[in-house]
Amino acid sequence: MYWKRQTEEKAVLDIRAKSDRRKIVSALLRNRILILGFIFLVQSGVAVWGKKQREVSTSEGQRQETVISDRDQFKFNYFFMEALRDKELEDFASAADNLYRCHLINPKSAVVFFELASLSSLQGLNDVAMSYAQRAVSLNPSNVRYKRALADLASRNDEDEMAISLYEELLQLDSEHAKSYYIQLVSLYSSTKQYDKACNALDKYAELTKPSRAITEEKFAMYLRADDKKKAFQQIDHMIQTYPEEFGYVSYKAEMYCMLGDTASADKTYQQAFKKNPNNPVLQYTYARYLHSIDRKQQAVDHYLKVIQNSEATFDVRAGAVLAATSDSATLLQDSVYDKFISDYPKEYIPYLSKGSAMYTKKDSSGYVYLVKSLEYNPGQENTWQVVTTYFSEHKMEDSTEVYCKKAIENFPNNSDFHYLLGFAYKSQKKDTSLVFSEWRKSVDILLNKENMVTASVIQGMIADYYYELKQTEKAFEAYEQALKYNPMNVMALNNYAYYLCVENKDLAKADRMSSKTIKSDPNNATFLDTYAWICFKQGEYVMASLYISQAYNHGGEKNPELLEHYGDILFKSGESKDSYMAMWKKALSIRESSEEPYEGLEKLKLKIKKETYVE
C-alpha cells in the first residue's frame, strides 16, 4: 500500500512539473516573438509603440516589392512553408525563426509581416500583431486579406476610428463580403455615437438581405440612445407602411410607447390600424395581448373572444388567443368557449390542453382527463406529461402512474421525474424491490449527468431510506454516505442517517455531528429536534435530551406518536413525575391505535404503560 501511494504521489508531481514547464516554455515563446518582432519592425522602419505611429498609410501607391534571385526565392519559399508548418503544430518560436529568415531574404515581403501578425495574435500579443499588420498593409495596400486582418485587430484593440476607416475602404475593395463589413460598421458607428451612420449602414445591410423587425428594433434603439424619439418611431412607421399586412410592427410600436410610459399613444397606434383593418384577427390578437400586458384584463378577454369567434381567424391564431387567455386566472374563458373550440377542432391537441389547463387553474383536478386527451394527439408535451403523472401519483392511482410514466419515458427518457415517479409507483404496488431501485438509480444518474447534485442527493437519500425499511442496514448506510457526497447539507439524509445510527446504537458521535447540522439549518423543525434529543438520550445526556424534546414538542410534535413516546422515555430517565411520562406514553398509544399504519413497537409501548416503567 505504501509503494502504491508513493507511486501515485510521484505521478501527480510529474504532471504538475510538466504543467509548470509548459507555462515556462509558453512565456519564453511569447518573449521570443516580442524580441523578434522588435527587430523586424526596427529593421523595416515601423515603430512598435504609440498610437500616432500606427496610422495606416495607403498613399504608398503600388505594392512594394524586392527583386530577388531564383536561388533566394527558393530559400524564401522553403523557410516560409516551414514557418506555416510550425505554426500549424503550434511551435510558435520555430515559426518566428523561419519567418525572420524569410525577412532577411526579402525585407519588403508583405506576406511575412501578415503571418507575423497572425502568429502574434495567436499568442495574445495584439499590439505587436497590429504593428505587423500595418506594415503588411503598407507594403501591399490593395490586399483585402491584410486590410481585413488589420481592421479586425484595430476593432479588438478599441482603435475605433482606424477600424472604421479600414472597413469603409474594404467596402470599396471587396463587395463580396459587404454584409460582414456593414455589420462591423454598425457596431463601430454605434460605439462612437455616430447613430445616423449606424442606421445608414443597417439600411445598406438590409438592401443586401431583407428588411426585418430585428433591423428596425436596432435602429429604434440607436435613435433612443441618441435621444431622438421622433426618428426612432419613424423607423417603425416606415416598416408599417412598407409591410401593411405584418401587424407585428404595429404591436412593436405600441410596446415601445408602453415602455416609454405613453399608453395613450399606444392605444392610438392600434386604433389607427383598426381603421384600415377592422376585422383582422391577427391585429385583434396582438391588441388583446397588449391589453393583457397592461392589466386591462376584462378588455383583453373581450378581444380574445373576438379572435376566437372571428371566422377569418386561422386555427393557429385562435389557439394563440385561447392559450393566452388560459395562462392567467383573471382572463379564463367560459367553459362553453373551450367546449366549442374542442368541437371545432376535435383532432387538435391545443383545445384539450387549454380546457384541461383552465380546469386546473380553477382547482378542478378532473381536468387531467383533457390533458390526457391532448397527449393522445401530441405526445411531445413534456410539461403536460409531468402534470398528468404527478396527478396520478398524488392521488395514489399507482396503476395509472405506472402506465403513463412508461409512456412519458418513451418520449422523454432523460427526464428524471418520470423514473422517480415510476419507482415510487412500483414501491406503492409492492412490486419487486429491484424495479424500485432500478428506476430511482436511473433518476439519480440523469440528475448527475445534468450536474443537479441537490436533487440527485434527495433521491439517493430515498434509496437509503428504502434500504433501511427493508432492513438492509449496511446498504442503507452506504447509500446515505453517497447521498451526502452529492450534497453534504442534505438535511433529510443527515437526519435519517443520524437517527438510524442511533437506533442501531452505532457511532453515536457521528450521529451527534450530523444531527447538530440539521438543527443549525432548521432550529424549529420538530423532527430534527426529536432526533437530536434521542441521540442525547442514547448517550445518557438526559438534561440535554429533555431540553431538545420539549422544544420538539412545542414546535408541532404534539401529534407525533414516535416523538411522544421518546418524550415519555426521556421524562422517565430524567426522574420526572409518573404522571408526566405516563401521559406521554398514553397519548402516543392512543394515536398509534387509531392509525392504520403498522407499528412494530406497539407491544413494547403497551408494556411500558402496564408496568409504568421504561422498557429497553
Helix (H) or strand (E) holding 354: helix 349-361
Percentage of residues of the chain with pLDDT beyond 90: 61
Instruction: Evaluate whether residue 258 is within a structural domain.
Output: yes
The contacts of residue 590 (CB under 8 Å, 6+ apart) are none
pLDDT at 41: 45
Helix (H) or strand (E) holding 347: none
The values of phi and psi at residue 381, to 5°, are: -100, 90
Instruction: Evaluate whether residue 389 is within a structural domain.
Output: no
Where does 339-386 show beta strands of DSSP type E? none
Distance CA(132)–CA(48), nearest Å, equals 9
If asked whether residues 16 and 153 sit together in one domain, one would say yes
Which one has a higher pLDDT value, 481 or 225? 481
Distance CA(200)–CA(189), nearest Å, equals 10
Amino acid at 45: G
Kindly state the cell numbers that stand for 5.
501511494
Which of these ranges, 33-42, 421-430, 443-452, has the smallest mean pLDDT? Answer: 33-42
Distance CA(234)–CA(10), nearest Å, equals 71
Helix segments in 124-280, DSSP class H: 126-139, 144-156, 160-173, 178-191, 195-208, 213-225, 229-242, 248-259, 263-276
Identify the residue whose cell numbers are 388567443.
321
- Give the mean pLDDT of 523-527: 94
If asked whether residues 153 and 233 sit together in one domain, one would say no
Instruction: Evaluate whether residue 23 is within a structural domain.
Output: yes
- Give the mean pLDDT of 582-587: 93
What rounded mean pLDDT belongs to the chain? 86
Distance CA(301)–CA(279), nearest Å, equals 17
Instruction: Evaluate whether residue 241 is within a structural domain.
Output: yes
- Give the mean pLDDT of 190-215: 82
pLDDT band at 65 (very low <50, low <70, confident <90, very high): low
Distance CA(30)–CA(25), nearest Å, equals 9
Amino acid at 275: K
If asked whether residues 138 and 216 sit together in one domain, one would say no
Instruction: Evaluate whether residue 36 is within a structural domain.
Output: yes
Instruction: Evaluate whether residue 492 is within a structural domain.
Output: no
If asked whether residues 231 and 136 sit together in one domain, one would say no
Q: Is the pLDDT of residue 581 over 60?
A: yes
If asked whether residues 22 and 137 sit together in one domain, one would say yes
Q: Is the pLDDT of residue 61 over 50?
A: no
pLDDT at 12: 25
Kindly state the cell numbers that stand for 494.
443527515
Q: How many domains does the chain have?
A: 2
Which one has a higher pLDDT value, 250 or 607? 607
Distance CA(605)–CA(616), nearest Å, equals 10
Specify whether the CB–CB gap between 249 and 233 falls below 8 A: no
pLDDT at 563: 93
If asked whether residues 107 and 236 sit together in one domain, one would say no
Q: Model confidence over 348-377: pLDDT tens digits?
A: 999 999 999 999 888 888 899 999 999 999
Distance CA(252)–CA(100), nearest Å, equals 58
Give the residue from 225, 251, 278 where a domain finishes.
Answer: 278
Distance CA(410)–CA(407), nearest Å, equals 5
pTM of the model: 0.65
Which of these ranges, 67-81, 235-249, 382-396, 491-505, has the smallest mean pLDDT? Answer: 235-249
If asked whether residues 150 and 16 sit together in one domain, one would say yes
Which one has a higher pLDDT value, 572 or 596? 572
pLDDT at 543: 93
Give the residue from 129, 157, 185 where a domain finishes.
Answer: 157
CB atoms within 10 A of CB 144: 13
- Give the mean pLDDT of 495-505: 95
Q: Is the pLDDT of residue 519 over 70?
A: yes
* φ/ψ bin of 365: left (φ > 0), alpha (ψ from -120 to 50), beta (otherwise): alpha
pLDDT at 235: 75
Specify whether the CB–CB gap between 467 and 476 falls below 8 A: yes
Q: What is the DSSP letter of 312?
A: T
- Give the mean pLDDT of 552-556: 92
Instruction: Evaluate whether residue 441 is within a structural domain.
Output: no
Q: How far is CA 130 from CA 154, 177, 455, 607, in A?
A: 7, 22, 51, 91
Tell me how far apart the terminal alpha carbons of the chain are, to the nearest angstrom. 44
If asked whether residues 124 and 230 sit together in one domain, one would say no
pLDDT at 207: 81
Which of these ranges, 236-250, 387-401, 533-547, has the smallest mean pLDDT? Answer: 236-250
Percentage of residues of the chain with pLDDT beyond 70: 89
Local structure of 577: helix, strand or coil: coil
Amino acid at 31: N
Specify whether the CB–CB gap between 509 and 498 falls below 8 A: no
Give the residue from 235, 255, 278 where a domain finishes.
Answer: 278
Identify the residue whose cell numbers are 438526559.
542
Which one has a higher pLDDT value, 157 or 439? 439
What domain range is 39 assigned to?
Answer: 12-45+71-157
Give, in degrees to the nearest 5, the angle at Cα 116 between 115 and 117: 90
Q: How far is CA 545 from CA 13, 346, 477, 562, 567, in A?
A: 51, 65, 25, 15, 9
Amino acid at 398: E
Kindly state the cell numbers that stand for 275.
381603421
Instruction: Evaluate whether residue 321 is within a structural domain.
Output: no
Nearest to 550 by CA among 573, 572, 574, 526: 526
How many residues would you count in the chain? 616
As a dihedral over the C-alpha atoms of residue 516, residue 518, residue 524, residue 526, rounded to 10 degrees, the angle is: -90
Q: Is the pLDDT of residue 63 over 80?
A: no
Distance CA(609)–CA(475), nearest Å, equals 35
Nearest to 151 by CA among 39, 267, 271, 56: 56
The contacts of residue 113 (CB under 8 Å, 6+ apart) are 40, 44, 132, 133, 135, 136, 139
Q: Is the pLDDT of residue 240 over 50?
A: yes
If asked whether residues 140 and 216 sit together in one domain, one would say no
pLDDT at 13: 29
pLDDT at 206: 78
Task: Look up the CATH number of the domain holding residue 144.
Answer: 1.25.40.10
pLDDT at 64: 62
pLDDT at 331: 86
